[in-house]
Amino acid sequence: MDGLKILLDQVEVEVENKIAKKSEEVIADVKARIEELKRYTPTVVIKDGKELGKISGLQHKQLGDLIRLLGADQNVLMVGMAGTGKTHSTKQVADAIKFDFYAMSVGAQTSKSDLVGYMDANGKYVTTAFRKAYENGGVFVMDEIDAGNSNVLIILNSALSNGLMSFPDKMVTRHENFRFVATANTYGNGADRTYVGRNQLDGATLDRFIVIDWLVDEELEGKIVSGYSTGQAWHETIKNVRAEVARTGLRAIVSPRATQKSTIAYEIGMKAEQVVEMVLLPQIPQDKRDEFKRKAIEYWTKNIKNYPPKPTETASKGTETSKTTVDTTTTAIPMARTSSYEFDKFSFEGDKYERRLDTIGRMRYYKNEGLLSKNDYFDVIDKIIKIQATQDYDTKLATDEFDLGKIPF
């Protein structure tokens, strides 16, 4: 019996040794693979030891591509529709890698001195944003490069490829942390039906870039307006309109900016028909406007039924309630949301700044749609004004309630 126990103990030790050995082999293999991947994966950790920071705010779905290319020290040309966040995304990357950010828009009148600077009458060099970034490091964005004069832009060729550039005062070596991004609405092949003011760029200039097709990120577009009660309905409407423009070949731009403008205009009191006329129709050819307007209103009517105005916040902290709680939208600063109100009763809660209700966006919606009478609407305004006039926020009118039972939900 003792011999059997000794034998079993030996077997157990042998098995454990083999498992340990196999584990070490697997771990070593994983580490080797990780090191191999590191050699082929660009990193955004900069050579001077700066750590990669967090990118704040909403992010475009292609932001990772931009980060990797800039981390690999590539000159990037971002080509996409106006309003898709090309410049903003580049600023987010600059903030994350803790680089200074520089940007300039170019056009047909942009001159060589706008880029490289000049010597003034006293013999003193006048610098530029490009020079600062090139010499001291930073992310430089040249917006609308395809609107620039190709003969002027050729001066960038040496700076982007050779690491040296002649400025009016001296020859400058490119800083190791200089990153160059150009944005464009075309591929540098000249004007098209939509972007008629674009120029053809020199092939040698275009050869300096890696091109990213910067697409409309519809998920991001929806998130930007998700804080509004009618944001989803307008987002779906603009997507429908964009598809209609693409289908019919109309010469019009329906960018994510249209979603933001439409939502804000509607929630500060404009009617849907007014929104379409102000935001969408100006770009539509005159002979197509009536038909286009009719379709846009049809899309809106369908979408506001499918995506009715919805609450944007849960009940205030510390308040146990099953009533619907929604945010208002300020008319002075449309993207800022202030306080909350509840139904069937109307209540204001929050700190002293939140109680300064200078906004009644949602109430205007109900009035515009005939769900709230004009008398009730002005009764709401009157009570809001009284609350605004109260300065003792901490002891008085922390909550002001009145009946709004006529509003259907």
Q: Residue 135 falls within a domain, yes or no?
A: yes
Q: Residue 52 falls within a domain, yes or no?
A: no
pLDDT at residue 350, rounded to an integer: 38
> Are both 267 and 253 inside the same structural domain?
yes
- Decide: 137 and 101 in contact? Cβ < 8 Å: no
pLDDT at residue 172, rounded to an integer: 95
> Are both 301 and 321 inside the same structural domain?
no
> Are both 342 and 395 inside the same structural domain?
yes
Contacts of 29 (CB under 8 A, 6+ apart): none
Q: Residue 203 falls within a domain, yes or no?
A: yes
Find tokens 């009035």 and name the residue.
Answer: 367
In order of 89, 146, 155, 220, the CA distances from 58 in angstroms are 10, 27, 36, 7
Q: Residue 43 falls within a domain, yes or no?
A: no
Annotate the chain with three-state secondary structure: CHHHHHHHHHHHHHHHHHHHHHHHHHHHHHHHHHHHHHHHCCCCCCCCCCCCCCCCCCCCCCHHHHHHHHHCCCCEEEECCCCCCHHHHHHHHHHHCCCCEEEEECCCCCCHHHHHCEECCCCCEECCHHHHHHHHCEEEEEECHHHCCHHHHCCHHHHHHCCEEECCCCEEECCCCEEEEEEECCCCECCCCCCCCCCECCHHHHCCCEEEECCCCHHHHHHHCCCCCCHHHHHHHHHHHHHHHHHHCCCCCCCHHHHHHHHHHHHCCCCHHHHHHHHHHHHCCHHHHHHHHHHHHHHHHHHHHHCCCCCCCCCCCCCCCCCEEEEEECCCCCCCEEEEEEECECCCCCCCCCCCCCCCHHHHHHHHCCCCCHHHHHHHHHHHHHHHHCCCCCCCCCCCCCECCCCCC
Q: Residue 53 falls within a domain, yes or no?
A: no
**Range of the structural domain that residue 389 is part of:** 312-409
> Are both 68 and 204 inside the same structural domain?
yes
Q: Can you tell me the distance from the alpha carbon of 276 to that of 283, in angstroms, rounded to the nearest whole number?
A: 11
pLDDT at residue 367, rounded to an integer: 58
pLDDT tens series, the chain, 409 aa: 566 556 566 666 666 676 667 667 656 665 665 554 444 333 344 344 455 566 767 889 999 899 889 988 999 999 999 899 999 999 999 988 889 999 999 988 899 999 999 999 999 999 999 999 999 999 999 999 988 888 888 888 889 988 899 999 999 999 999 999 999 988 877 766 567 667 778 888 888 999 999 999 999 999 999 888 899 999 999 999 999 998 988 888 899 999 999 999 998 888 999 999 999 999 888 899 999 999 999 999 999 999 988 654 433 333 332 332 333 333 322 333 333 333 333 333 333 333 333 345 555 555 565 656 666 666 666 665 555 555 443 333 333 333 433 333 2
Give the sign of the dihedral formed by CA 324, CA 325, CA 331, CA 337: negative
In order of 70, 77, 97, 179, 203, the CA distances from 102 in angstroms are 15, 16, 14, 10, 25
Q: Residue 182 falls within a domain, yes or no?
A: yes
> Are both 327 and 301 inside the same structural domain?
no
Picking from 306, 333, 360, the residue at the C-terminal end of a domain is: 306
> Are both 206 and 270 inside the same structural domain?
no
> Are both 84 and 178 inside the same structural domain?
yes
Token digits of residue 212:
């990213």
> Are both 289 and 343 inside the same structural domain?
no
> Are both 190 and 68 inside the same structural domain?
yes
Q: Can you tell me the distance from the alpha carbon of 243 to that of 240, in angstroms, rounded to the nearest whole number?
A: 5
- Decide: 66 and 94 in contact? Cβ < 8 Å: no
In one-letter notation, the amino acid at residue 54 is: K
Q: Work out the angle between the directed axes of helices 361-368 and 256-267 (0-180°, nearest 10).
A: 80
Token digits of residue 67:
């980060």
> Are both 124 and 176 inside the same structural domain?
yes
Q: For the chain, what is the domain count?
A: 4
